[in-house]
Chain A
C-alpha cells in the first residue's frame, strides 16, 4: 500500500502534463516530490464560463459560485475517494467526462460556512445531512471532505456504513468481547481507506499512541509508536482489524482533544448504526443488531460530543434502512429514538432538489460534455418535468439522450 502511494507521487509529473486543470495541485505537490517540473505547473488556467468556476478550493467557495462546477484534481480525488465516497454512477460519469467536477450547492456551502466559523475548542458539533433519495447528500459530503483534506483535517470517513450491516465480507466472533461480532475484512478495508486519505498528513503530524495495545501474547503496539504503525498493524493482521479501528479512533479523539490534530468525521448512511435489522448472523443463526458489532462502537463513540477539535458530518438516508422502514427521510424517523438521543443536539442540514439555476447549469454542463446530443426544442422543460429537478433522476434520464 505504501509503495503504491509513493508510486503515485512519483508519477505526478506525468499526470500534470495530462491534467491542465491541476495547476494549483502542482504547486502543492512540488513541495513534496522534488521531481515535479515547475515549468509545467504554471500552464493553462482553469476553464471559466457560465457554469464553471475557476475556484478550486472549497474553502473559498461562496454564494457567487452557487450552481457552478469546480474541478477536483485527479490526484486529490484519488486520495480522498479511492476507497469510496462518490456514488458509483457518479464515478462512472467522472470517468466518461475525464474530469471530476462537483457542483457548488447551497447545502454544502451552508455546511462549510458552519465549519469555518465553528470554534473548534468547543465540543464537536454534529451536522446531519438529510433529504430525499438522490438529492446529493453524498456529493455534498464529498465537497466538504475535499475542504477537510485541503485544510489539514484528519478524515475519519465511512463511505457507506450500511455496507457493513447489509453485505459484510466476513463475520467472526469477537475474541475480546463476549457475544460480539467482528467484521475483520471490512475493518481492514476501512483502515486502508483511512490510510489512503490521511497518510500524508499523518507523516507530517507525527502522531503517537498514548498507551500500549496488547493484541495477543506475542503481538503488541507499544506506547509512543506512530499512528501509521498502528494502522498498518491492523491491515497486516486482519484478525485484529476491528480492535485496531477502535484503538485508532479512541487515540484520534484523545489527540484531537489535546489539540495535536483536527479531525473531520464523515459517515454516510449513519442511521444504519441504529437500524436493528442487519444481514449479519451469529452462530445460532440469529440476526445480530448493530450494537453487537464491534465496528459500530468506535464510530458511535466518535460521534459523541465528549471531545473537541473536530467536526462530525453525518448523513441519514432512506436506503440505509430495509424494506418497510422507508416512509420518511426525516432524521427523527430514520435514526429512531435511540439514535436521535445519541446525536441530540445536532445541526440538521436539508439537501433538496436542484434549484432552477442549478438545473440549467447542469444541463449546460451535460451539453458541454456532449453527454446530451439529441436536443429537440423544449427538451429542458421536459426533463424538468420528468425529473422534478431531482439530481439522481436527471442523471438517469439523460443517460439515453
Chain B
C-alpha cells in the first residue's frame, strides 16, 4: 500500500498520466490483482513524511487518524499477547520461545477448565490478528481520490469479482466460438469436476472480500459462478473457479461406502461403530446371507419391550427390503430404550449401505435413515417447571 501511495505522490503533478497509468494497470495487471486476495492487507504502515507535507483531504486525514489508532491498539494488543504467552509458558514450565498456539490452547484448557457447552464461549487466548476482524486499508489517496474504479458502488471488491466472472465467461464464449469455427470440441477428459465441491458460503466469501454483502448479491454471485462453471470450456478457467470452491470433505467421506469383510463362515459382514442417539452408544454388525435373526446384547428383539422401539429397528430393514435376508448383532449401552433403539437403527441403516445399490442408498438418505440425530435433552431452567413449561400461573 505504502508503495502505491508513494508512487502516486511522485506522479501527482501529472494527473492525466496518472489516470492513464491506472487504466493501463487495469488491463494486464488485472489478472495479477485478481490472483492476489482482495484487500486483505489489514494494517497501514505509518504514512511517509512526504505525504504529510502535501495537502491532505479531510477524508484521508480522518482515515489516517483511524489507521494510526488501530495500529497502536494492535501493537499494544500484540505486546500483551506476547507477555501473556511468556507468562503462560512459565506457568506451564515450558520454553517461552517455542510456545505455540496449540500449547496455549492446552494450557488455557488446563488452567481454566470450563463446563460451558459452546466451545466459542470457553476461555481462550489467541493472537490479536485472529481476534480482531480485518479492516480495509485506505481506498483513496490523500487528495480523496479513490483508487478503485468501482469505489462508488460501495462494495468495490464484490463488484470487481462479478466483473471478473463476467470477463471470464465472455472469454470462454469467445473461445467456444473460435473452437466451433475450427470444428474442435471441448475435451471431455478435462471436464471440470465439481462434485464434492461447493461455492464459498456467504460468510466465507465476505471474509475474502472484506465486505458485507446482501443475500441477493450473494445469489448474483452464485448465479454468475454457476453459469461460468456450466460452460463447456470451463476447465480453461479452472484456476479462477477453484478460488471460489470449497471441498465438501465430510459429506464425500460419508458417501464412501465401506467394503464388507468376510467372516470365518464365509459370510459378508460390516460393523458400524459409534452409533449414537441421545446418550446411547452402540456398535452394530450386519451379516449378509442371514435369516433375519437379531441379537441385541445377547438377547433377541424382546430386549425392547415397547412396540415403538421394535418398529425403529424394523424400519431400515423393511425400507431397504432386506428384512429376513440379513442377521443383525448389536451391542448397546447407555441411555434409555428409545435412545438405544435409535442408535441401533442408525447402525443398521449405515451398515446396510454396503449391501444395497446406489439408488437405494440415495433413497435411504432422503428418508433420513443415514442422518445422525444430534438432538439432546434440553436442560431445565430455573424459575420454570421444565425446559419450556412454566409454573402454573395463579393470580393469587
List residues of chain A with CB under 8 Å of any chain B CB.
132, 378, 381-382, 384-386, 388, 390, 393, 396-397
Contact = CB atoms under 8 A, between A and B. Distances in A.
Nearest to B325: A381
Interface in B298-349: 300-302, 307, 310-311, 313-314, 317-318, 323-324
A363 to B, nearest CB: 15
Contacts of B294: 385
Given A378-B323, A390-B302, A385 B307 contact: no
A385 B323 contact: yes
A385 B323 CA distance: 8
A397 B317 contact: no
B292 interface: yes
A110 B318 CA distance: 37
A383 to B, nearest CB: 10
B300 A388 contact: yes
Given A385-B323, A386-B307, A378 B318 contact: yes
Nearest to B318: A382
A386 B292 contact: no
B311 A386 contact: yes
Nearest to B324: A381
A386 B312 CA distance: 10
A355 to B, nearest CB: 13
A385 B301 CA distance: 8
A397 B301 CA distance: 14
Given A386-B301, A388-B300, A388-B302, A381 B323 contact: yes
Contacts of B307: 386, 396-397
Q: What is the predominant secondary structure among interface residues of chain A facing chain B?
A: helix
Contacts of B311: 386
A-B pairs, 10 with minimum CB distance = A388-B301, A386-B310, A381-B323, A388-B300, A381-B324, A385-B314, A388-B302, A382-B314, A386-B314, A385-B323
A385 B317 contact: yes
B86 to A, nearest CB: 63
Nearest to A133: B302
Q: Which of A382, A385, A388 has the most CB of B within 10 A?
A: A385
A106 B292 CA distance: 24
A393 B303 CA distance: 13
Nearest to A134: B302
Q: Which of B307, B311, B317 has the most CB of A within 10 A?
A: B307
B34 to A, nearest CB: 60
Contacts of B314: 382, 385-386
Contacts of A381: 292, 318, 323-324
A373 to B, nearest CB: 19
29 contacts: A132-B302, A378-B318, A378-B323, A381-B292, A381-B318, A381-B323, A381-B324, A382-B314, A382-B318, A384-B292, A384-B324, A385-B292, A385-B294, A385-B301, A385-B310, A385-B314, A385-B317, A385-B318, A385-B323, A385-B324, A386-B307, A386-B310, A386-B311, A386-B314, A388-B300, A388-B301, A388-B302, A390-B302, A396-B307
Nearest to B303: A388
B323 to A, nearest CB: 5
Interface string B225-260: 000000000000000000000000000000000000
Contacts of A386: 301, 307, 310-311, 314
B374 to A, nearest CB: 28
A221 to B, nearest CB: 51
B303 to A, nearest CB: 10
Given A382-B323, A386-B314, A393-B302, 11 more contacts: A132-B302, A381-B323, A382-B318, A384-B292, A384-B324, A385-B318, A386-B307, A386-B311, A388-B301, A388-B302, A397-B307
Nearest to B323: A381
A118 to B, nearest CB: 34
Contacts of B313: 385
A380 to B, nearest CB: 10
Contacts of B301: 385-386, 388
Nearest to A383: B314
B327 to A, nearest CB: 12
Q: Which of A386, A390, A396, A397 has the most CB of B within 10 A?
A: A386
Contacts of B317: 385
A388 to B, nearest CB: 5
